[in-house]
A and B are shown apart, each in its own frame.
Chain A
Amino acid sequence: MAKVFTKTKMLTDVHMHYCPGCTHGIVHRLVAESIEELGLQDKAIGIAPVGCAVFAYDYFNCDMQEAAHGRAPAVATGIKRCLPDRLVFVYQGDGDLASIGMAETVHAAARGEHITIIFINNSIYGMTGGQMAPTTLIGQKATTCQNGRDPAVNGYPIRVCELLATLDAPYYIERVSTQDVKHVLAAKKAIKKALRFQAEGRGYSFVEVLVSCPTNWHMKPVEALRFMAEETSRTFPLGVFRDKSEGREEK
């Protein structure tokens, strides 16, 4: 019998610390597999964020750099400008990218840095215990909005893909999900495409991945996937927001 699925060599054998049912691990695998399939393992440099994925440097089998909270795109800019032949990818969560790191995120995109950003959106602060994030849905409960997010008090969720798609420089922006097998396979395609665009020197690429957080959503893992399919992806519609390779602007 031939092996049809085995763990990629781009991931180390360290056991991941994520909660049971958290789909962070799936996204780690997709990024790792994409780099391996592109044959860029020796050239890859990852930037780990602050947040749930803070230990990402233990899991990826390539050079990794930890950045201060929210500053990963700035660190990536420095590394890419010093070593332009490397593949620099940034792995950030929503508290890191859309809250404290919003300035770095927007300006790196506006400058059109040749980096790839993988944005993990679980619409809550996971590591710190379930506080409201900039991406928390209207009506969704969190420890800092216990009756559900109220737009009159807490404002509205930020849609980062749509925001960055108003800028001229980004080359590729897409939002994908990990709600089921079909969407995970589509996410793999998007991540691989984003990394390939960078390797070809085309420009800034950004992939937002919707991820579940069963612990802080207070759901079972399978229920959390259903919530993601029915609720999260309604506020954050999936799709390609920018793909200059097809000569298409916004969809």
Chain B
Amino acid sequence: MANITIDEKVCKGCGLCANACPKNVISLSKHRMNANGYFVAEKVNPQNCIGCAFCAIMCPDCAIEVEK
């Protein structure tokens, strides 16, 4: 069981994490914004996460922490 934690305060909604994820765990929110007005990345299929950390490697803002 692996888990990711997304820091929504830092997220800029660029979607590079969602693009890198091989298991479609992450998707950009269609409704929820952070204080900067970005549609944040959120977990949609957390049970599929394998802890590969591809999302964290591609995140330009170090907003993702990965546990395994």
Contacts and interface: CB of A to CB of B under 8 A. Distances in A.
B14 to A, nearest CB: 4
Contacts, number: 78
A21 B12 contact: yes
Contact of B16 (A5, A185, A225): A225
Contacts of B15: 21, 220-222
Interface stretch (A12-20, A41-49, A94-102, A146-154): A12-20
Contacts of B2: 1, 4
Interface in B44-68: 51, 53-54, 56-62, 64-68
A1 B60 contact: no
B25 interface: no
Contacts of B57: 5, 26, 181, 184-185
Contact of B60 (A3, A4, A6, A24): A24
B27 interface: no
Contacts of B3: 1
A202 B2 CA distance: 42
A26 B68 CA distance: 22
A2 B56 CA distance: 15
Interface of A: 1-8, 11, 15-16, 18-26, 29, 180-181, 184-185, 214, 220-222, 225
Interface of B: 1-3, 9-10, 12-16, 19-20, 38, 51, 53-54, 56-62, 64-68
